Amino acid sequence: MQSVGFIGWRGMVGSVLIDRMRRENDFQGFEPVFFTTSQAGQAGPDVGGGASPLRDANDVRALAEMDILVSCQGGDYTKEMHPKLRAAGWRGYWIDAASALRMKEDAVIVLDPVNRKQIEQALNKGLRDFVGGNCTVSLMLMGMQGLFDAGLVEWVSSMTYQSASGAGAKNMKELVAQMGGLADAGRALAEDPASQVLELDRIISAKLNDGSLPTDAFGAPLAANLIPWIDSAMEDGRTREEWKGMVETNKILGTATPIPVDGQCVRVGAMRCHSQALTVKLTRDVPLAEVEALIAGANDWVKLVPNEKAATLAGLTPAAVSGGLDIPVGRLRKMALGGEYLTAFTVGDQLLWGAAEPVRRMLLIVLGRL
Ligand code: NAP
């Protein structure tokens, strides 16, 4: 029986992964072993066969006993441990949610509904490093797969609205604490029907700017605000998150000539789920009905939302999508710029299709179960 080691299983992505695997009854036919960087010896999760003590995720020899390792621990961990394991001669499969290895030549970015062929080719060639893609890239590709597959995309501009949970557990807590601080400051005036709204605005603005809200994780208030910067700066003015859009899209699609993808990545006060407003330059002027049919038919998870207010409010918001695998695509129309310019809005759960689900499915592929 193959052994599968899980590292980072109690973080945001890892706990969503374990939850999905439990629900889908995936913990069978292999021996799961749980590792930790901080709690070795404590009881691990019980996924059906009783809880075993956690093993040390910094112990190369313990890791090397595994046939497959699944890491949701983060890029620093991958950068430290993956080279050590390979240097020690470990030939197992490394399946990772972090970005550290994504652009390595012998690593494959996995999003199997979109690039199953590349995954199979890589497995046949004996490649052993498989990495989930950047969350907004994977969600954009799941939504727009029909247009990419049909060769209809000349370029894409993606303007993102990314949730607090994309930055990790601490950031989610900080957002709620900020919301609480604002609510406390404004409650009396907000609840008094006779109060002056400009006074409420003044109090909230003052609270946002007086330095009293917790901002250690985000560096600025996110509640009642937004932050048009995600990740570190690149030399050309893009952020690293924006840079990933083009390089990862083209690596996943295996394009011979890169398709330009660019835009601005913005953190907003949504708890979970990343949204994107897309501008797509089509390679030719295709009727909207054809575009809709291509998008809707591309995979089992994409769902077309009619370009109507009621349907949009009901199905095209982070709150509506959170915790589910659907990728709704709506607000779809040709732009005033011309018949080759399409706009769309899409939302997806960045912890599911944006992180845990491609990793989970890659594990099942390696185990020969998908
Ligand atoms: P995270 O929530 O910060 O968890 C990472 C690790 O932190 C855990 O495995 C755990 O390791 C440790 N940890 C320390 N205190 C903890 C606590 N109180 N609760 C839970 N864990 C705690 O990181 P993440 O957001 O899951 O991200 C993991 C990787 O996936 C990163 O490379 C990230 O870039 C990538 N990713 C994240 C998202 C997302 O939406 N968050 C999306 C796509 C990709 P020990 O048990 O070993 O201590």
The secondary structure of 273-287 as a DSSP string is -EEEEEEEEESS---
| Helix (H) or strand (E) segment spanning residue 296 | helix 288-296
| Separation of CA 27 and ligand 1 centre (Å) | 21
Q: What is the DSSP string of 26-89?
A: ---SSEEEEEESS-TTSB---SSS---BPEETT-HHHHHT-SEEEE-S-HHHHHHHHHHHHHTT
Residue closest via CA to ligand 1's atom 43 equals: 355
* Predicted pLDDT at 290: 98
Find the catalytic residue in 72, 82, 135, 265.
135
Query: For the segment 113-126, what is each residue's pLDDT rounded down to a tens digit?
Result: 999 999 999 999 99
Contact between residue 44 and residue 34 where contact means Cβ atoms under 8 Å apart? yes
Query: For the segment 61-75, what is each residue's pLDDT rounded down to a tens digit?
Result: 999 999 999 999 999
pLDDT band at 169 (very low <50, low <70, confident <90, very high): confident
Give me the residues paired with residue 107 across strands.
129
Q: What are phi and psi of 303, to 5 degrees?
A: -130, 125
Residue closest via CA to ligand 1's atom 5 equals: 11
| Separation of CA 39 and ligand 1 centre (Å) | 14
Residue type, 11: G
**Nearest C-alpha neighbor of 7 from the set 40, 46, 47, 51:** 40
Length in residues, the chain:
370
| Separation of CA 251 and ligand 1 centre (Å) | 25
Q: What is the mean pLDDT of the chain?
A: 97
Query: For the segment 134-153, what is each residue's pLDDT rounded down to a tens digit?
Result: 999 999 999 999 999 999 99
* Strand, coil or helix: 306: coil
Is 274 part of the annotated catalytic residue set?
A: yes
**Nearest C-alpha neighbor of 359 from the set 26, 46, 3:** 26
* Predicted pLDDT at 321: 97
| Mean pLDDT on 237-249 | 98
Contact between residue 34 and residue 54 where contact means Cβ atoms under 8 Å apart? yes
Distance CA 43, CA 231 (A): 34
* Predicted pLDDT at 97: 98
Residue type, 141: L
* Strand, coil or helix: 112: helix
Distance CA 169, CA 165 (A): 6
Name the residue of 33, 72, 77 whose CB sits within 8 Å of the most ligand 1 atoms, as the mutation to test its pocket: 72
Query: For the segment 297-352, what is each residue's pLDDT rounded down to a tens digit?
Result: 999 999 999 999 999 999 999 999 999 999 999 999 999 999 999 999 999 999 99
| Separation of CA 174 and ligand 1 centre (Å) | 16
Q: Is the pTM of this model over 0.95?
A: yes
| Mean pLDDT on 96-123 | 98
| Separation of CA 160 and ligand 1 centre (Å) | 22
* Predicted pLDDT at 49: 85
Ligand 1 atom nearest to CA at 37: 47
Q: What is the DSSP string of 153-211?
A: EEEEEEEEEE-GGGG-HHHHHHHHHHHHHHHHHHHHHHH-TTS-HHHHHHHHHHHHHSS
* Predicted pLDDT at 315: 98
Question: Ligand 1: residues whose CB is within 6 Å?
Answer: 8, 10-14, 36-39, 57, 72-75, 97-98, 135, 165-166, 168-169, 350-351, 354-355
| Mean pLDDT on 222-227 | 98
Ligand 1 atom nearest to CA at 38: 48
Name the residue of 13, 273, 357 whose CB sits within 8 Å of the most ligand 1 atoms, as the mutation to test its pocket: 13
Query: For the segment 3-57, what is each residue's pLDDT rounded down to a tens digit?
Result: 999 999 999 899 999 999 999 999 999 999 999 999 999 999 999 989 999 999 9
